[in-house]
Chains A and B, each alone.
Chain A
Amino acid sequence: MSSVITATNRKEKAALLEMCSVRLGKTLFGVPITHILEIVGGARPQPVPLAPSYVGGLVHYRGDVLTTVSLRHLLDLPPRDGPQDILVLESSGGCFGLLVDSVGEVLTVSSADYEPNPSILDDRRRALFAGAYKLKDTLLVMLDPDRLDPIRLDSMRAVPAQAA
């Protein structure tokens, strides 16, 4: 499950990478800008009844209908009213939208500051996060588009259900 983020890090020492930052709750998250197709602001996704709970709804994006994933829901945060920003991400399975409260600035990080997921992180978060970059005063928790792809989330959800 090597992600682009970590692979780049291992090959090239101290490369500079650009990450789009997203604040949600107390945590600062980062998404590599190379994976972001577009940022759509002020969207009100259309809910889909009976959809898996992590699906944030549908939005109209460039003539297509885009499925969004709610980051709030993935992190067990209460849903938020009002418009949200959407990061349109490209993963191996196609395009999807990541619903976040609001998109922050683009941060430049050095690959030397990368640390993989700590072992004490719970299983679910470990599956979602792709390590973190140590910034001066905080941590930038990396989100890997491939891990957030609704299809993968669906299979993740299905496995424990079968085991139980």
Chain B
Amino acid sequence: MALDELTREFLIESQEGLDRMERCLTELEERPEDAGLIGDIFRSVHTIKGTTGFLGFKRLEKLAHAGENLLGMLREGKLTADGPITTGLLQLMDGLRSILKTIETDDNEGDAGDAELIGRLEELQAPARAQVKNARVRAGAVQARAVADSLGNSHGPAEENASEARVPAEAPVADAGHLVAVNAAEHAAEPAVPAKAEPDKAQAEAEPGKARAQSAGTAAESTLRVDVTLLNRMMNLVGELVLTRNQVLQATAHDPSLTLLTRRLDMVTADLRESVMRARMQPVSNIFSKMPRIVRDLSQSLGRKVRLQMEGQETELDKSLLEAIKDPLTHAVRNSLDHGIEPPDVRQAAGKDPEGTLRLRAVQEGSHVVIEVSDDGAGIAVEKVRQKAVERGLITADKAANLVERELLQLVFLPGFSTAAAVTNVSGRGVGMDVVKTNVEKIGGKVELESRPGKGTTMRMRIPLTLAIIPALIVHSVEQSFALPQGALSELVHVPPEQAVASIEWMEGAPLYRLRGKLLPLVFLDRLLMPEGVHKGSTEKDSFIAVLNADGRQFGLVVDGLADPEEIVVKPLSAVLKNIGLYSGATVLGNADLALILDPGAIALRAGVTMSSEEKTERGADAEDEAEAAKGMEYLLVEVAGRQAAVPLADVLRIEQLKVSRIEYIGYRPVLNFEGQLLPIEDSGAVLAAVEGNPDAQIIVVVCREGARQVGIAVSHVLDVAAGGELFEAGTSARAGGVTLLKNRVTGVVDLGGVPPLPVDEGAPVEWNQMTVEMAEAAR
């Protein structure tokens, strides 16, 4: 079935035309009077018809012709695009599509008859009767003139008349009311204007056609069709380049002469990667645009009234990912219509707008695209879910009784689950949501479901922007490197050996860590990976806890060491290794080592970390705490001569590490010439005194804003950033000043206002060198 170049181009062009037609048709439903839309649709069909005649696809030409007639009447305003007509046009589109498909696979248009469809399209032209009748008198005159013109002067400028000639020709027959006769009469009438009609129509087409050709011309110059396999190959090669770059960066890290070159290589590689990725990006509208049709057809067959809103259509996603979420999205939309949005009478009874709303929203959030399908329907009845899941034997009654709402909603994703009472042709066979979940998870995405009874359901799909390259943290365990996807990582905790005993607590064999006062279940990666091995106790070495969030489960993964974060290129594993279930792939690191990519969700599952109900309530409370804390103040935790102190983070401008020799003195007051401004240094902890006599010693100055001026605080170390809690004096509700609760320790807050201002010199402009300082001192 080798298609020649011409046919192939025709197929691609026609598909694009039909896609455009589909978009216009759905818009046409909302704005049936929009002449521009009708014109667009007309042109799509007309182009197909024109080219098919040339290529000799008779069946396609006939069908397109029938559609064109109907569209012609719409365009001339003799018909209004009401429901049946739109349906007819959609059927026409489907008909054309299926013929194109046949041509693509078999290289001929097949011989299935389209008589029924053509008949329907002609039937739809009949309502023109009424309008035509009114215009009959005028039409009669026009006809006469048109015929005269066509007979007399075939080059005459009578375009208007001639194009109308077709209508009067139908008029008498329309009176008779015989639909079949319309066709016959039309054909009979055609010879009357044979020489005229076609060229005229072509000319009428020429004007808008020319305009379109121009815009198409500029588009054609700036765009190029590229084979997807070529793009895939480019993506693979870029992946290899990223690997090589990582290796070059590591190998040359100690050679300053190569720094500039490698930095350039780094930048160019990053840009190239982004460009290739961008080339694979397509707007979400490519799949969103299919939805109006689905919603329309389904709402009709289900007897729902649905308004579809779409947002963020311009959001872009990798082509292969876009393909992968097409089915899940369709499933989700079907589900919303069938199970979510109620029939109009039910909605009205519930005091809602009889017309339901289905919202599709796409938005990019960091390295993910979130696609939301939300409806304002009945929501998911969790009790019904519980009952059905038990009924279908997906879960035991005991277990079901213990599940909290959020876990119950997760049951919807189990294979074989359905709450629909009857199996309809839309849904109810129980193969909906699990397909959604597996398809989305296959591409590294996540599905979340949120539902409020009576208010509606929201399904959220989080899709990674790209599959091939992800940021990951490299961790060490069992003397090997592993990659942890950054997406799941929320924070890292360092546990020095001397603190290990105190901070890792055991509850009957279950290791736990107190993370900001909350118990975090721990999973030791070495014990998980080598259940039989001999493990060094955590008291003998440093350990790190990677706090991971996987499918709503939070746990800490204890590893032996951390390396730098890297952008890793994901390589698939063979089936045998995939079956282990802990690894989602492998990657080649900058040092040319291989590292397995850990799958946090699978680790949680393997280690038995679940969301127990107790934990969940605690989590909820914790989230509130955190939200509360966020409202409060954040502090920079510093160490000043062995004591901890806090500086309000909002006031911190920057943290400077500098040589102690840069500190100068105005009398006994230390000052810093900081970007041409004089900064008084607060040194209540005698940090400066501690390094006196050693001009090369480094000190840290935290530069803060205090009202309109800036002050510096000399500190020994900068420790952390933490949210402070308020402290109240026992028995009173008076807030204690000057202290805050940081990491469960009462910590003094540095009083910035207490830093005395520098002496003001009202004389000549000050030059900041030792001389002036002395002068200022003298003046004082």
Contacts and interface: CB of A to CB of B under 8 A. Distances in A.
Interface stretch (A13-21, A24-32, A56-64, A101-109): A56-64
B593 A94 contact: no
B595 to A, nearest CB: 8
Given A48-B580, A51-B580, A60 B575 contact: no
Given A51-B577, A96-B574, A63 B236 contact: yes
Interface string A61-80: 00111110000000000000
Nearest to A54: B576
B100 interface: no
A150 interface: yes
B529 A150 contact: no
A116 interface: no
A146 to B, nearest CB: 15
Contacts of A50: 529, 580, 582
A151 interface: yes
Given A49-B480, A64-B571, A55 B576 contact: yes
Interface string B569-585: 00111111101101101
A52 interface: yes
Interface in A97-115: none
B252 to A, nearest CB: 20
A58 B594 contact: yes
A93 B579 CA distance: 15
Contacts of B579: 154
A64 B240 CA distance: 10
A67 B577 contact: yes
B480 A60 contact: no
A46 interface: yes
Contacts of A153: 576
Nearest to A63: B240
A55 B579 CA distance: 13
Given A46-B593, A49-B480, A63-B236, A94 B574 contact: yes
Nearest to A157: B576
Contacts of A151: 574-576
Contacts of B206: none
Contact of B573 (A47, A60, A65): A65
Given A60-B588, A64-B571, A65-B586, A154 B594 contact: no
A65 B480 contact: no
Contacts of B595: 46
Contacts of B585: 65
Contacts of B236: 63
B695 to A, nearest CB: 50
Contacts of B596: 46, 48, 58
A154 B575 CA distance: 10
Interface string B547-589: 0000000000000000000000001111111011011011110
B480 A46 contact: yes
A58 B587 CA distance: 10
Given A46-B593, A46-B594, A52 B480 contact: no
B530 A48 contact: no
Given A48-B577, A65-B594, A96-B574, A58 B586 contact: yes
Interface in A39-53: 46-52
A145 to B, nearest CB: 14
B621 interface: no
B contacts with A: majority SS? mixed
Contact of A49 (B240, B478, B592): B478
Category for how many chain A residues contact B? 20 to 34
Nearest to A49: B529
B574 A67 contact: yes
Interface residues of B, number: 28
B343 interface: no
B572 A65 contact: yes
A152 to B, nearest CB: 10
B480 A67 contact: no
A52 B576 contact: yes
Most chain B beta-carbon contacts within 10 A, residue among A59, A60, A66, A153: A60
Contacts of B243: 63
Contacts of A94: 574
A52 B576 CA distance: 8
Contacts of B239: 63
A67 B576 contact: yes
A63 B232 CA distance: 14
Nearest to B595: A46
A47 B480 contact: yes
A51 B583 CA distance: 10
A68 to B, nearest CB: 10
Contacts of A51: 576-577, 580
B480 A150 contact: no
A150 B576 contact: yes
Nearest to A154: B576
Nearest to A48: B577
Interface in B499-530: 529-530
B571 A65 contact: yes
Contacts of A58: 577, 586, 594, 596
A59 B577 contact: no
Most chain A beta-carbon contacts within 10 A, residue among B480, B574, B592, B596: B574
Most chain B beta-carbon contacts within 10 A, residue among A49, A51, A67: A49
A56 to B, nearest CB: 12
A58 B239 CA distance: 19
Contacts of B575: 93, 150-151, 154
A151 B596 CA distance: 19
Contacts of B577: 48, 51, 55, 58, 67
A139 to B, nearest CB: 30
Interface in B260-311: none
B575 to A, nearest CB: 6
Given A46-B593, A48-B596, A58-B594, A150 B574 contact: yes
Contacts of A55: 576-577
A96 B573 CA distance: 11
A50 B585 CA distance: 14
Contacts of B594: 46, 58-60, 65
B588 to A, nearest CB: 5
A66 to B, nearest CB: 8
Most chain A beta-carbon contacts within 10 A, residue among B243, B575, B585: B575
B592 A60 contact: yes
A49 B239 CA distance: 26
A150 B579 CA distance: 12
Contacts of A154: 575-576, 579
Contacts of A66: 574
Most chain A beta-carbon contacts within 10 A, residue among B573, B577, B592: B577
Contacts of B576: 51-52, 55, 67, 150-151, 153-154
Contacts of A96: 574
Contacts of A67: 573-574, 576-577
Contacts of A60: 588, 592, 594
A51 B577 CA distance: 6
A66 B577 CA distance: 11
Contacts of A49: 478, 480, 529-530
Interface in B202-232: none
Nearest to B575: A151
Most chain B beta-carbon contacts within 10 A, residue among A47, A48, A151: A48
A161 B330 CA distance: 42
A130 B582 CA distance: 34
Given A46-B596, A150-B574, A154-B575, 13 more contacts: A46-B595, A47-B480, A48-B580, A49-B530, A51-B577, A51-B580, A55-B576, A55-B577, A60-B588, A63-B571, A65-B585, A67-B576, A67-B577
10 contacts: A46-B593, A48-B583, A48-B596, A59-B594, A63-B240, A65-B594, A94-B574, A151-B574, A153-B576, A154-B575
A-B pairs, top 8 by smallest CB distance, nearest first, are A49-B529, A67-B574, A46-B594, A150-B576, A65-B586, A65-B571, A63-B240, A154-B576
Interface of A: 46-52, 55, 58-60, 63-67, 93-94, 96, 150-151, 153-154
